[in-house]
Amino acid sequence: MLHGANDEDETGNNSHANASGNRSNASISATAAGGPAPSLRPSDAAPPPPFPVAPPVISTTLQVRTRAPSSGGIIRFKTSLRNTVFDVMRDRGWKETDGDNDWDFYWADVHWVHEMFDHMYLQENQRINHFRNHYELTRKDLLVKNVKRMIKTMEKEYGKPESQKFEFISTSYVLPQEHALFQEEFKRNPGSVWIMKPVGKAQGKGIFLINKMSQISQWRKDPRVKVDAPEAYIVQRYIENPYLIGGKKFDIRGYVLVTSYYPLVVHIHRNGFCRFSNHQFTMNVKDISNLYIHATNVAIQKQSPNYDSDKGCKWLLRNLKTYLISKHGEAPVNELFTEMEALVVRSLMAVQKVMINDKHCFELYGYDILIDEHLKPWLLEVNASPSLTAETQFDYDLKHAMLNDAFDVIDLERRHANDKKPRTRVGGFDLVYNDGPVKHERTSNYASYLGCYHPIPKAPRVKKRLGGGGSSSQSQ
């Protein structure tokens, strides 16, 4: 069974006929950066789009006219979760059902998708929150494999400069299969630091850092072993120069909504957040095993003696953008955020050809991105089920609003079923790719809206679900 990175409260872990319109112009205050940024496009006579064109694909999904929910206009939902997503669905007036197939929408866990989806016939009105083989993007080893393949394809068809745009994952090997290749790489860089991660786990479970080959001997592939093979790990070159704030390491959680792979349709929410470690960062060898220094996962940091449960360890993405502008100016920071947006789209392009598209499916991904001291973004992993359990009241409000925006995009109520043009902004979600890059009002200098101001309303529900309320496995 294949499992992707899954940090939710679940029981497991081209040819471009661009039909998109211009984005609405957002006002940008002192707390929300905007303005022009350097284009992603090369400065030649006939510039390609900011995200390289993928080979044409053909969707086998039938275009059948949908019908409204059959329960008197009320959306019937099913889920095993009791966290923010449950609250949002109820706050929208949807009705819960526990029937096997009498639902309009099912917020399913990935285990159900793997075991049951292929054996079900979905009605025209039914929607589900995962694609069948989402793990092509969310399992760490498959993500690396697909991105490596895309790099080779891009270099062959478009040249080295275009393929280098897909080099947003640090050097990686899958163990035990690629142990020999990793050993050769390690010999070329003796004493370098690498991070080991189980391919299908989240929340920082099972990760550790190494600087000696002897530390991974147990994962070496032995052809004589026929059963009980060692757990598959991915080993990646550790990014030793992360951007620090207050001397502490952090990464970024962004929310990405994909409503189709053929054509590829991508929305990115403006309100992500940063997750900070609770200890000063150091690359001292004696601290190499201290995950409170090197891992930013909330599940790990909550165990730190320095953790403050009232404040949490998160910072709104808009605040990060404002801080970085105060240190580096608008142009390089806008370029950074535009590159993060491009990284997201390119990673999706890398799996587009292998994804099983289905009109009944969408996916809300949690993207984890690290920034280094040179303001280069690195993709750490993609979560199939980003955590929707809140740690603080503000965290709850942010996730409640983001989920409400996501359901507005999905539009199960069919309020926008007759719209002739795609909606380029729905709440905090910006449509950034619609079978090609979405046209931008600042066409000469493209700048992402990621991290720009978007209000976070107070959640309407009095009873808040903070710090728990789900089942077992979730990546935060």
464 has pLDDT over 80: no
Dmax over CA atoms of the chain, in Å, equals 67
Question: CA–CA separation, 242 vs 337, rounded Å?
Answer: 16
Reported confidence tier of residue 25, pLDDT bands at 50, 70, 90: very low
8-state DSSP, 96: E
Secondary structure of residue 334 in the 3-state scheme: helix
Using 50, 70 and 90 to split pLDDT, how confident is the model at 321? very high
How confident is the model over 164-190, as a mean pLDDT? 93
Output the six-digit token pair for 235: 């080993």
Q: What is the pLDDT of residue 296?
A: 73
Q: What is the pLDDT of residue 163?
A: 96
Q: State the pLDDT at residue 370.
A: 97
Q: Comparing C-alpha atoms, which of 450, 434, 452 is closest to residue 49?
A: 434
The one-letter amino acid at 242: P
Question: Where residue 334 falls among pLDDT bands split at 50, 70, 90?
Answer: very high
Report residue 425 as tokens. Answer: 């902004």
Question: What is the band of 463 on the pLDDT scale with cuts at 50, 70, 90?
Answer: low
Per-residue tokens: 189: 């860089």
pLDDT band at 200 (very low <50, low <70, confident <90, very high): confident
Mean pLDDT (the chain) is 81
Q: Hey, is 395 helix, strand or coil?
A: helix
pLDDT for 6: 62
The pLDDT tens digits for 3-17 are 566 665 443 333 333
Phi/psi for 208 (5° steps) reads -160, 160
- Closest of 382, 163, 162 to residue 266, by C-alpha: 382
Query: Would you call 89 helix, strand, or coil by DSSP?
Result: helix
Token pair listed for 407: 């359901």
Query: Counting runs of H as helices and runs of E as strands, what totals does the chain give?
Result: 11, 17
Residue 304, pLDDT score: 66
Q: What is the model's pLDDT at position 285?
A: 87
pLDDT in tens, 411-425: 999 999 889 899 999
Average pLDDT over residues 385-410: 93
CA distance 352 to 260: 10
Q: How confident is the model at residue 21 (pLDDT cuts 50, 70, 90)?
A: very low
Question: Kindly report the CA angle at 104 between 99 and 107, in degrees rounded to 5?
Answer: 80
pLDDT at position 47, please? 37
Higher pLDDT pick, 222 / 346: 346
Q: How far is CA 183 from CA 144, 178, 199, 222, in A?
A: 18, 9, 19, 15
User: How confident is the model at residue 280, as a pLDDT?
Assistant: 87
The three state secondary structure string of 429-464 is EEEEEECCECCCCCCCCCCCCCCCCCCCCCCCCCCC
Residue 451 · residue 321 · CB < 8 Å? yes
47-51, 144-148, 297-301, 387-391: least confident range: 47-51
User: Is 254 or 58 the better-scoring residue by pLDDT?
Assistant: 254
Q: Are strands 248-261 and 244-245 parallel, antiparallel or unpaired?
A: antiparallel
Kindly state the tokens that stand for 32. Answer: 């929300």
**For residue 283, what pLDDT is reported?**
86
Tokens of 399: 């996730």
Average pLDDT over residues 415-437: 94
User: Of 45-54, 303-312, 331-340, which gets the smallest average pLDDT?
Assistant: 45-54
Residue 428 pLDDT exceeds 60: yes
Six-digit token string for 52:
């390289």
What is the distance between the terminal CA atoms of the chain, rounded to a whole angstrom? Answer: 23
In whole angstroms, how large is the CA radius of gyration of the chain?
22
More confident: 377 or 67: 377
On the question of pLDDT at 301 being above 80, the answer is no
> What percent of the chain has pLDDT above 90?
55
Considering only CA atoms, which of 273, 272, 277 is closest in space to residue 249? Answer: 277
Residue 223 preceded by cis peptide, ω within 30: no
pLDDT over 60 (residue 46): no
pLDDT, mean of residues 129-145: 95
Torsion, Cα of 59, 61, 67, 69 (10° steps): -100
Give the range among 37-41, 157-161, 346-350, 384-388 with minimum mean pLDDT. Answer: 37-41
The pLDDT tens digits for 47-100 are 333 444 444 343 333 333 334 454 457 999 999 999 999 999 999 999 999 888
